[in-house]
Amino acid sequence: MNKSIFSRLLTTNLIIFIGLILILTGTLTLLYSNQVYQQEEQRLREITQKTESLYLDSTKGKIEALKLQDYMDAMAYVSKSKLYILNINENNIQDLRDLDFANSDLDNYLYEDLNIILEGNEVFRKSTYTATFDTQMIFYGRPIHKDGHIEGVIVIFTPISTVVKNIRVMLLVIGSVSVFFIAIVSGVLYISAKKMTKPIEDISNSALAIANGDILEDLNKTDYQELNALIDSFNYMKSELNRIDEDKKTFIGTISHEIKTPLTVITGYLEAIHDGLLDKDELNESLEIIYKESKRLTVLTKDIVTKTKNKDMEFYLNPSFFKLKPILEEIIQLAKVNTKKNIQFILSCEDHITLYADQEKVQQILSNLISNAIKYSNDLVHINIRGYVENEQLCICVEDDGLGIKKDELDKVFQKYYRIKNTATRQEGSGLGLSIVKKLVALHHGTIDITSTYKKGTTVTVKLPPLRQEVKG
């Protein structure tokens, strides 16, 4: 069964708090209990020390034995204890019948304790059952030292009930305080959990409203930094959804950027064929170009479908070895057909230059660059296209003496959907060209650089890795 965040938060915090209270209660009780037993041990030690001193005085004749007995009886009465002096040593401990122990039999466990005491040690037991007194008792024993040897032992038994009573009283006090704090903290946790989960409920309700197409205002901030970050993210998501919704409405127009070149080529050659402007050789060449552009259009269409399925318009490479110069010559030939401007193309590329890349994607890169050079130019312009190897990198440079780009727009040309606004002869476009080019170059592990001087021209340089470097597929 699924639980709400509120119930989980409240339950978890309560369990943690109660657990801490129980640990604290147990620790305090243990510390207090140890302190009580230490105090009791010290009290019994002082009684037996005083008893030992009086006993030694009586053996020396300094006081009467009756005074010693009176002190022992008084201590036993006041502390409700049993106090004994045992005239034993390590030689006669086995013969308990001769011991003066108020005519009572010792419990068997005392043999071990008496042996320890006769070795010169003190013994303290917090809780020991004695058959003699038929109850739990606290036991303390110490040796009697006289003239450098042990003459006997002093033992004292005191009921544990008094100590236990004190511990129980303290435990009751600690427990009462703990229950009071648990009640107070439970109320605070309830209010806090409610306050924390309320914004989450608002976000959930707002998300459902957005899913139904409702237009909502931004959610208000709270007193919690983390929730404010969540609210900021939600508000940002809401604004992005609105933007994406607008982008969808214009997407059909933007994808035309990639299919316009082959369609223009096909249309141009079909018009020439229809008008009978071509001879037999030119006709065959035109049909070959139409066929190739149709295949390219099919590939581009599939690529566009793939892009629409990926939020970031991912591309996929199919690398192979091919020569650069024929690709450049074909693009230049198609560009001449597609423009009515008086463009002079200057190609400089050695025949042997070969690269390992996706041929369709490289052709797409170069077509975009040359198309932009034509688009943002006057009717009379020179376009210099160079392919060369420099520092073990394949470089492709497209340079024109066209209109150029203003400095404040130069950093924005690679942004998706950005279109240059300061060109007088600017043609309509989607603004996807250079953003796609940059992605394709990066996918080949290459770089692209653009420099431009307004009203003087633009130079775009693409650098691709050497043949030995693996290309992402």
CATH code at 110? 3.30.450
In terms of domains, do 18 and 145 share one? yes
Average pLDDT score over the chain: 78
Asked, for residue 173, whether it belongs to a domain, the answer is: no
Q: Give per-residue burial for 46-63: e unless 16+ CB within 10 Å, then b.
A: ebbeebbebbbebeeeeb
In terms of domains, do 335 and 414 share one? yes
Residue 250, both tokens: 């214009």
**354-357 and 393-400 as β-strands: parallel, antiparallel, unpaired?**
unpaired
- Residues 318-321: contacts with CB within 8 Å, 24+ apart? 318/358, 318/360, 318/473, 319/356, 319/357, 319/358, 319/471, 319/473, 320/356, 320/357, 320/358, 320/359, 321/354, 321/355, 321/356, 321/467
* Residue 428 pLDDT level (bands cut at 50, 70, 90): very low
Angle, CA of 206, 207 and 209, to the nearest 5°: 60
Asked, for residue 343, whether it belongs to a domain, the answer is: yes
Question: Of 165, 131, 159, which is closest to residue 33 (Cα–Cα)?
Answer: 165
In terms of domains, do 308 and 359 share one? no
In terms of domains, do 274 and 388 share one? no
Q: How many domains does the chain have?
A: 4
Taken in order 17, 20, 26, 32, is the CA torsion positive or negative?
A: negative
In terms of domains, do 118 and 9 share one? yes
* Burial of residue 311, with CB atoms counted within 10 A of its CB: 0-12 exposed, 13-18 middle, 19 or more buried: exposed
What percentage of the chain carries pLDDT values higher than 70?
A: 80
What percentage of the chain carries pLDDT values higher than 90?
A: 11
In terms of domains, do 299 and 421 share one? no
User: 292, 313, 334: which is the final residue of a domain?
Assistant: 313
What's 430's domain CATH number? 3.30.565.10
In terms of domains, do 362 and 388 share one? yes
To which residue do tokens 């992005």 refer?
240
* Residue 252 pLDDT level (bands cut at 50, 70, 90): low
Q: Which amino acid is at 450?
A: I
In terms of domains, do 327 and 359 share one? yes
Question: Of 176, 215, 224, 219, which is closest to residue 197 (Cα–Cα)?
Answer: 224
Asked, for residue 199, whether it belongs to a domain, the answer is: no
Asked, for residue 377, whether it belongs to a domain, the answer is: yes
In terms of domains, do 374 and 229 share one? no
Asked, for residue 335, whether it belongs to a domain, the answer is: yes
In terms of domains, do 9 and 68 share one? yes
Q: In the prediction, which pLDDT does 315 show? A: 61
User: 123, 149, 165: which is the final residue of a domain?
Assistant: 165
What is the distance between the alpha carbons of residues 188 and 286, in angstroms, rounded to a whole number? 82
Report helix angle 433-443 to 359-375, nearest 10: 150
Instruction: Give the mean model confidence (pLDDT) for residues 457-462.
Output: 93
Which domain covers residue 411, as residue numbers? 315-473
Distances in Å between the Cα of 448 and the Cα atoms of 283, 409, 412, 420, 438 are: 38, 16, 14, 18, 7
Q: Is the pLDDT of residue 18 over 80?
A: yes
Per residue in 310-369, pLDDT (tens digit) is 555 556 788 999 999 999 998 888 888 777 778 889 999 999 999 999 988 898 899 889
Q: What is the DSSP letter of 357?
A: E
Asked, for residue 174, whether it belongs to a domain, the answer is: no
What is the distance between the alpha carbons of residues 49 and 147, in angstroms, rounded to a whole number? 16
In terms of domains, do 349 and 360 share one? yes
| E runs forming strands in 123-201 | 123-130, 135-146, 149-159
Question: Of 82, 66, 184, which is closest to residue 138 (Cα–Cα)?
Answer: 82
Contact 387, 352 (CB under 8 A): no
Asked, for residue 183, whether it belongs to a domain, the answer is: no
* Burial of residue 319, with CB atoms counted within 10 A of its CB: 0-12 exposed, 13-18 middle, 19 or more buried: middle
Q: Is the pLDDT of residue 32 over 50?
A: yes
pTM of the entire structure? 0.47
Asked, for residue 55, whether it belongs to a domain, the answer is: yes
What's 272's domain CATH number? 1.10.287
* Residue 129 pLDDT level (bands cut at 50, 70, 90): low
In terms of domains, do 384 and 284 share one? no
